[in-house]
A and B are shown apart, each in its own frame.
Chain A
Amino acid sequence: MAGLNFSPGMRGQFAAIAQVRWQLFVNRLRTIRGRLEMVARGFMFLGFAAAGLAGALTLGWLAWLFVSRGHLPWLAILLWFVFLFWQLFPVMATAFGETVDSSSLLRFPLSFPSYFVVRLVYGALEPSTFLGSFWLLGLAIGIGAAQPGLFLWAAVVLLVFAMFNILLARMIFVWIERWLAQRRSREIIGVVFFIFFICFQFIGPLMSRIGRHEHPEISGITTQILPYERVLPPGLAAAAISRAVQGTFTPALAAFALECVYALAVLWLLNVRLRAQYHGEILGEAVARSTLPKEKRAIRLGWNVSGIPGPVAAILEKEFHYLSRSGPMLFTFVMPVVVLLVFRLGPQTSAKQGNFLAHASDFAFPIGAAYALLILTNLVYNCFGADAVGMQLFFVSPISFREILLGKNLAHALVLACEVIAVWIAVCFMFHPPTIDITLATVTGVGFALLLNLTVGNLLSIYTPKKIDYGAFGKQRASTTTVFASLGIQAAVFGLAAVTLLIARAFGSIWIAAVIFLILAGLAAIGYVMVLNRADHIALDRRDAILAELCRA
């Protein structure tokens, strides 16, 4: 990154890029759909603004409390929270983030520093950056309120911490994108994750053996972990501030310097990756083709699923090919189990301050299954998004949209079924096997929610499609209108589920919930069939808009 000075030419390029983004934004408002998107984005912005403000106030107040009462080591907890949110939120909530593909800028005479800055700035334009920065500002103000003389120092330390987070998020993003772009590295990551997962399985039995008694060896482990925490960026930022509060400026400066070293190291790693892209790296697998043997290969027969018409089976097969080749999608599919793992590990920090699932592990299966459904909604609500220009084939081939949607819905239902089974198995290992009534209530509840989501998802997939790319991280975001409609449906589903559970509890039997969910699923199925039967008509009416969106470059 040496030589990063903004010449008039570079400034002109930045201005041109910013102007073209602005023009794209304005042009989008020409259509009703674009204006609806704008309104939806406005609501989303308000939501994030509220979260940012609430978080900043809370963190600021906590920082003030810790500094004014001398609980300085606790500052690290706040910074770890911000750090984890900043890095995990973009992965866990892809629906809210959108990555602008700025790699196409490479055809212009853009210098590497310009390219780097553009990638960094556009990549950083996401809610986690906005919220994280706002929260850190709140922290700085809270610390400044407790010790006004240290406001400037805290602000500088937290500014570097913010820069570190922005760079780290970008660095992780581009490196994961690189690894997941090729089948072999994707498989290696899968194996690593699997081993990681297996290792976690030992935690449950281990902890159950330990029980709730005092165990000095655990305090020993905590004592051993703490020094490592202190040399990691959140710990260093906290140390830099707390040492300054205590008046020991040399260790504070040392911690700050180390924090800067981390930021520079991450900057270097990001620089390595972006430089490879800048020099024309191709993240495809086409390069491998010349090494393949030239002998004729037998063409594998398509899937044959008994009871399902050939075209529907073909759609089902195609969906599975697409999903199995999408690193980002595979990554999100394992998230329900990861979330359960997080919950499972949570109670071990304190015997008394256990998390929700530690006290009510019966809810582990319903929560895991609900999360699996939530992840799937991104697919269900924009099911044509990844087809892009392939959508033309659906309009020119002699197959009805009813069949196309059936094939896609079947694929999504099977993915959900696999996920729910995986969650059930994970719950058995991590907590205890869910009881039959809980299992049945959950399965019927998920069935109802799935049918309702598929019904609305099919409609929204036709009315507000958005071109997405399964192969790249951050490019699976549906339209903002769809995201809001999806949130509304989820709120309704969870509301109905809560009411159902309350009724079941009032009658003292969870079986009642299963029966109610079955009735609701029946009603949702009627709606589903009605929408399916109208799908052809709606899709043909909307074909101009659908193809205009999905076939755009």
Chain B
Amino acid sequence: MDAPAVATQGLTRRFGDLVAVQDVNLSVAPGQFFGFLGPNGAGKSTTIKMLTGLLAASSGSIQVLGLDLAKNSVEVKRQIGVVPEGMALFGRLTGAEYLNFVGRMYGLDRETAAKRTAELLDFMQLAEQPKTLVTDYSHGMQKKLALAAAVIHGPRILFLDEPFEGVDAIASGTLKAMLQRMISRGATIFLTSHVLEIVERLCSHLAIIHKGRLVAQGSLEELRAGVEAQAAAALAGTSGGSAGTVPGEKLTLEEIFLRIVGGTRRSDQELSWLG
């Protein structure tokens, strides 16, 4: 049996007194399209930063493709691609220069780096502005460039922190097509996103983090079954109460998410001055 693509044990990160991520045990199988969800401030970005070496863990261990990240960081980094929160772009290079640079940082030879740069720029529809500096790109263009840079070396695992944030529908379609192509070729994708519709459509497996703790993990069906079982138990425990499910209708990911993290929508009395 293959080693998990990503596995963590007791992963914890503290910032002074604040425990941002506590005792997280994750397991992502190779070839999975894995969605990592959570409300704002839940610890998603902190976790992904630890998984990619951008942040040191306070305790716990991280295994990537069977390798301990702490002990084999260079070997692990060679096999992963990352689009971090800040996109890791160099603003005063052109898109082509940036991709070329990243390719060579990952050890590609000059010819291969240049060839893949041309192909990626073309695929991401960024080839028409060869002299434009990255700092002058729109946010969506920067996102596409960051994703192109993350895949230029053909990684086996791709970590994406909010890849669809600020990206228009056309670019979003391009990105999704590329990610699905990678999955069909055996790569593993680990992404965080607030756009639950996209996660529901793309991801086969999910994990939900809330207040630094992992509160759910499994396939979408497993999470749905868990929530429905809880709802049924709650229904059985209360007389005449309703758990909010309509018989015969599947719960959406948004509903599952809200049930798990206990989110409520406040709409009545607040901010009356807003007109």
Contact = CB atoms under 8 A, between A and B. Distances in A.
A296 interface: yes
Contacts of A292: 128-131
Interface string A389-400: 111110111111
Contacts of B52: 396
B132 A396 contact: no
Interface string A145-182: 00000000000000000000000000000000000000
Contacts of B113: 301-302
A396 B55 CA distance: 10
A321 B75 CA distance: 29
A471 B54 contact: no
B129 A289 contact: yes
A391 B53 CA distance: 12
16 contacts: A285-B136, A288-B131, A296-B127, A311-B104, A314-B105, A315-B105, A317-B101, A322-B92, A386-B92, A389-B86, A389-B87, A396-B53, A396-B82, A397-B102, A399-B105, A543-B55
Given A289-B132, A296-B122, A302-B100, A389 B88 contact: yes
A310 interface: yes
Given A298-B118, A299-B117, A321 B132 contact: no
Contact of B92 (A313, A393, A399, A470): A470
Contacts of B54: 392, 395-396, 543, 547
Which of A386, A392, A471, A541 has most chain B Cβ within 10 Å?
A: A392
A393 B105 contact: yes
A282 to B, nearest CB: 8
Given A318-B90, A326-B92, A389-B86, A302 B101 contact: yes
A9 interface: no
B178 interface: no
Interface in B96-114: 96-97, 100-102, 104-111, 113-114
A213 interface: no
A2 interface: no
Which A-B residue pairs are the 7 nearest by beta carbons?
Answer: A286-B136, A392-B88, A314-B104, A389-B86, A390-B90, A398-B78, A398-B77
B133 A318 contact: no
B41 interface: no
A289 B136 CA distance: 10
A292 B95 CA distance: 15
Given A396-B54, A398-B78, A399-B74, 6 more contacts: A302-B100, A321-B92, A392-B54, A393-B88, A393-B102, A543-B54
A314 B109 CA distance: 11
A495 B152 CA distance: 50
Contacts of A541: 56
Nearest to B80: A396
Nearest to B93: A321
Contacts of B111: 301
B99 to A, nearest CB: 8
A471 B135 CA distance: 11
A305 B175 CA distance: 35
Contacts of B84: 392, 396
A192 B115 CA distance: 39
A470 B104 CA distance: 24
Interface in B29-88: 52-56, 73-75, 77-78, 80, 82, 84-88
B94 to A, nearest CB: 8
Nearest to B128: A294
Contacts of A387: 90
Nearest to B94: A321
A540 interface: yes
Nearest to B13: A544
Contacts of B107: 310-311, 398
Interface residues of B, number: 53
B20 to A, nearest CB: 12
Contacts of A544: 55-56
A33 interface: no
A119 interface: no
A285 B96 CA distance: 16
Interface of A: 284-286, 288-289, 292, 294, 296-302, 304, 310-311, 313-315, 317-318, 321-322, 325-326, 386-393, 395-400, 470-471, 540-541, 543-544, 547, 551
B199 interface: no
Contacts of B122: 296
Given A390-B88, A395-B53, A300 B131 contact: no
Contacts of A317: 101
B91 to A, nearest CB: 7
A311 B89 CA distance: 17
A315 B109 CA distance: 14
Contacts of B88: 389-393, 396
B161 to A, nearest CB: 10
Contacts of B117: 299
Contacts of B80: 396
A471 B102 CA distance: 22
A468 to B, nearest CB: 12
A399 B106 CA distance: 7
Contacts of A471: 92, 135
A311 B114 contact: no
A313 B104 contact: yes
A399 B53 CA distance: 12
A86 B88 CA distance: 39
B89 A389 contact: yes
Contacts of B77: 396-398
B105 A286 contact: no
A204 to B, nearest CB: 37
A397 B87 CA distance: 13
Nearest to B100: A302
B155 to A, nearest CB: 10
A388 B121 CA distance: 23
Nearest to B97: A321
A82 to B, nearest CB: 36
A415 B96 CA distance: 24
B162 to A, nearest CB: 14
A399 B104 CA distance: 10
A229 B131 CA distance: 45
B91 A388 contact: yes
Contacts of B104: 302, 310-311, 313-314
A311 B104 CA distance: 5
A106 to B, nearest CB: 18
Contact of A390 (B91, B100, B109, B128): B91
B118 A397 contact: no
Interface in B105-159: 105-111, 113-115, 117-118, 121-122, 127-133, 135-137, 149
Contacts of A300: 96, 100, 114
A297 B130 contact: yes
Contacts of A389: 86-89
Contact of B56 (A310, A397, A540): A540
Contacts of A391: 88
A397 B109 CA distance: 15
A124 B135 CA distance: 28
A285 B131 CA distance: 9
B89 A390 contact: yes
B153 to A, nearest CB: 9
Nearest to B120: A299
